[in-house]
């Protein structure tokens, strides 16, 4: 029985509205001061790097049968749909402050009251503590919900002048975003979401399928 059923926002339009308003809802990148990166990115090289990542990611996701729904904002964030799981995922970039950073995420469990929120916080902490690469946290947008993410730092190669060498960088980016690794990233997200659901049901001693979000 598939418990991953839509609730909350309605379909794709709701997902796009949610990810476009993520900065207002607290789902934005924190201010990063003094970050040391191996390459001295300029506005142009950061845009070139992110563009190459997005192109590779779209190619590999489509090869897995996923559909690119839309680039969500000026950072070129992506919303894609995995037909196998009937689920939408958001991929975020941080072009201005940390071009090497990328985050896969989706939100999946709606919170209805203070008791459920307390239980969700405990389950988020527990699953984050035992999961591989994953973070679970509560996101506020119209209705509080649990969000799960995997964050990556992608490689770069610099030339003799400390500038971005895209010809040498591209093969490394493609290796990090290969189909095999993308499958594993998505599997880790799903496994952690299922574990969260199991722990919540144990705490509530009942199944609550209507709380799952697509």
| 75/94 Cα distance (integer angstroms) | 7
- Return the residue matching tokens 């599997």: 187
Q: What is the dihedral of CA 111, 20, 68, 132, to 10 degrees?
A: -50
Instruction: Examine the pLDDT at 6 and tell me if it is beyond 70.
Output: no
How far from chain centre, in Å, is Cα 141? 16
**Cα(109)–Cα(144) distance, integer angstroms:** 9
- Note the pTM of the prediction, 2 decimals: 0.77
- The Cα–Cα gap between 169 and 157 comes to 5
Beta-strand relationship, 87-93 and 101-110: antiparallel
Cα separation, 51 vs 37, whole angstroms: 18
- Above 80 in pLDDT, residue 195? yes
- Which tens digit of pLDDT belongs to each residue from 11-26? 444 554 555 455 344 4
pLDDT (0 to 100) of residue 214:
53
Contact present, 165 and 89 (Cβ < 8 Å): no
* Structure tokens that stand for 172 in this block: 């490394």
Confidence of residue 162 (pLDDT cuts 50, 70, 90): confident
Measured from the Cβ of residue 136, the count of other Cβ atoms closer than 10 Å reads 25
Instruction: Read off the pLDDT of residues 111-151 as tens digits, 9 standing for 90 and up.
Output: 999 999 999 999 999 999 998 899 999 988 768 999 999 99
């Amino acid at each position: 029985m598939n418990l991953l059923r839509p609730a909350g926002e309605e379909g794709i339009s709701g997902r796009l509205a949610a990810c476009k308003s993520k900065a207002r809802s607290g789902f934005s990148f924190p201010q990063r001061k003094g970050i040391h990166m191996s390459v001295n990115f300029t506005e142009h090289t950061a845009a070139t790097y992110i563009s190459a990542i997005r192109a590779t990611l779209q190619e590999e996701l489509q090869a897995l049968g996923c559909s690119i729904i839309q680039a969500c904002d000026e950072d070129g964030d992506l919303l894609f749909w995995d037909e196998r799981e009937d689920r939408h995922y958001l991929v975020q970039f941080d072009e201005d402050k940390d071009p090497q950073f990328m985050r896969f995420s989706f939100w999946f469990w709606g919170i209805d009251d203070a008791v459920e929120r307390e239980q969700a916080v405990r389950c988020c902490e527990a699953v984050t503590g035992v999961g591989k690469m994953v973070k679970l946290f509560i996101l506020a947008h119209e209705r509080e919900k649990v969000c799960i993410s995997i964050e990556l730092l992608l490689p770069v190669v610099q030339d003799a002048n400390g500038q971005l060498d895209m010809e040498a960088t591209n093969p490394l980016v493609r290796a990090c975003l290969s189909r095999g690794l993308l499958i594993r990233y998505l599997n880790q997200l799903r496994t952690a979401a299922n574990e969260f659901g199991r722990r919540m049901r144990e705490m509530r001693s009942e199944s609550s399928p209507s709380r799952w979000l697509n």
